[in-house]
Structure 1
Amino acid sequence: MRDATRQAVVWEALRAVLSERAAATGRESLDIVDAGGGTGGFAVPLAKLGHVVTVVDPTPDSLAALERRAAETGVGVKGLQGDAADLGDLIAPGSADLVLCHSVLEYVEDPAGALGAVAGVLRPGGVVSVLAANSVAAAVHRSLAGHFDEARRVLSDPDGRWGDRDPTPRRFSRDALTALLGRAGFTVGDVHGVRIFADLVPGMLAEGDPDGLIALEKEAAAHPVLRDIATLLHVLAHR
């Protein structure tokens, strides 16, 4: 359910970007880089739409799974081993129309450096799609689990972490994430909330009406208040 909800909201935003960039460039086939794209959950469907997709990921096993997935789907996706910060060494400067940076900034050593590398491979007018964990949501979720001290720590911790056992190295508020993109030279556009309700409603209710929940998530994704409590923040920004 979480993956379906995440993909429904993000794909709706990506389809608009793909249409806009195709109109702006006059090319139906766009050059796309998926930084940290793993096994190709986004990359393979994008290739199936006719785009030229390159996945950069540090994990050999993920790249092998990507290759198998692409072959089973009958599309070609190029896989390169490396981190987001290595994009400048792996991808030609100014060669990408769209870069996906999904669930990457939480884990890289230097988020600003990673976004700088993303900016370097984008063409003028190109778009980065950033998906990142939301610190506000983490505080909500820890409090609902009865961990009030941890919820308070999330709100005061500069990395949005609830403790030493927190598996996520850092989280971002909407303001912090958009400011980070701005400092990297991007013009921030749409900001969406992903998994606003999906991680709050009981699983039995979610499973009882998955289509209704996805429709609700889509409707709430751009709500100026609700998006700020989403588990994930999705930001589109132009170079």
Structure 2
Amino acid sequence: MRDATRRAVVWEALRALLAERTAATGRDTLDIVDAGGGTGGFAVPLATLGHAVTVVDPTPDSLAALERRAAETGVGVKGLQGDAADLGDLLEPGSADLVLCHSVLEYVEDPAGALGAVGGILRPGGVVSVLAANSVAAAVHRSLAGHFDEARRVLSDPAGRWGDRDPTPRRFSRETLGALLAGAGFTVGEVHGVRIFADLVPGMLAEGDPEGLVALERAAATHPVLRDVATQIHVIAYRQ
């Protein structure tokens, strides 16, 4: 339930985007690529909606779990082993209507190169859905845990890291993520804050009223201040 609450804003944005792209293309079935899609948390539900989904992930175990999950759900999802930077080698240029790039840019060696590869497989007018860790939120969370020095370091570190033991190689602000996308040739559209309150509210309270928490997350997702302190930033961007 907690994971569903945390993903609600992203799913709502994706459903609206799917409706937009099917209307724009005149096709009910879209070609979707989930870069770093792992075990299919997004890919399998998208396939159940009737779309052709390909997952590109570097981990064989994740791809095996994806295959089992898809089979249990009764849908077909294609799995390919590789990194986001390999998209151009694995897929035809201009073959995708939508690419998901969720929790990927934090970990790849070259985020700009990965986005360039994403742009290469998108059709003209194609869209990328980017979900990335927010450096501002990391400072808030470290301070709430009593690690004030680490919180201060997040704010001054170019990669948004709190120290050498930080497991996340890099984080982004809304501005830095937007600049990265623009540099890769994308036009930034909607920006949402994801997990604004869900990671701050105690579990007991969240489980007591999950619908209320989801409604709060939706209301805050595009708030000009609150979205910038969300755990993750979700950006919809269009290939120019």
TM-score normalised by the shorter chain: which range applies? over 0.9
- Aligned partner of 1:160 in structure 2 is 160
Gaps of 5+ in 2: none
Task: Return the alpha-carbon distance in structure 2 between the equivalents of residues 143 and 7 of structure 1.
Answer: 24
Number of residues paired by the alignment? 239
Q: Which amino acid aligns with 1:209?
A: D
Q: Which amino acid aligns with 1:32?
A: I
Instruction: Tell me which stretches of 4 or more aligned residues in structure 1 moved more than 4 Å.
Output: none
Task: Return the alpha-carbon distance in structure 2 between the equivalents of residues 108 and 125 of structure 1.
Answer: 25
Gaps of 5+ in 1: none
Task: Return the alpha-carbon distance in structure 2 between the equivalents of residues 153 and 133 of structure 1.
Answer: 16
Q: Deviations over 1:134-186 (max 9, x none)?
A: 00000000011111100000000000000000010000000000000000000
Q: Deviations over 1:194-217 (max 9, x none)?
A: 000011112221111111101100
Q: Which amino acid aligns with 1:171?
A: R
SS of 1:32's partner is strand
Counterparts of residues 1-239 of structure 1 (less than 5 Å): 1-239=1-239
Alpha carbon RMSD of aligned pairs, Å? 0.7
- Give identity over the alignment, percent: 88
SS of 2:139's partner is helix
For residue 6 of structure 1, report the CA deviation from its aligned partner. Answer: 2.7
Task: Return the alpha-carbon distance in structure 2 between the equivalents of residues 65 and 7 of structure 1.
Answer: 20
For residue 2 of structure 1, report the CA deviation from its aligned partner. Answer: 4.0
Task: Return the alpha-carbon distance in structure 1 between the equivalents of residues 144 and 76 of structure 2.
Answer: 44
Q: Is the 8 A contact 2:31 2:95 kept in 1?
A: yes
Task: Return the alpha-carbon distance in structure 2 between the equivalents of residues 137 and 94 of structure 1.
Answer: 35
SS of 2:176's partner is helix
Q: Deviations over 1:14-70 (max 9, x none)?
A: 011101110110001000000000000000000000000000000000000000000
Q: Is the 8 A contact 2:2 2:206 kept in 1?
A: no
Q: Is the 8 A contact 1:31 1:51 kept in 2?
A: yes
SS of 2:218's partner is helix
Q: Is the 8 A contact 1:5 1:194 kept in 2?
A: no
Q: 1:2 to 1:114 in 2, by over 3 A?
A: farther
TM-score under structure 2 normalisation? 0.98
SS of 1:89's partner is helix
Q: Is the 8 A contact 1:2 1:195 kept in 2?
A: no
Q: Is the 8 A contact 2:38 2:59 kept in 1?
A: yes
Q: Is the 8 A contact 1:94 1:121 kept in 2?
A: yes
Q: Which amino acid aligns with 1:15?
A: R
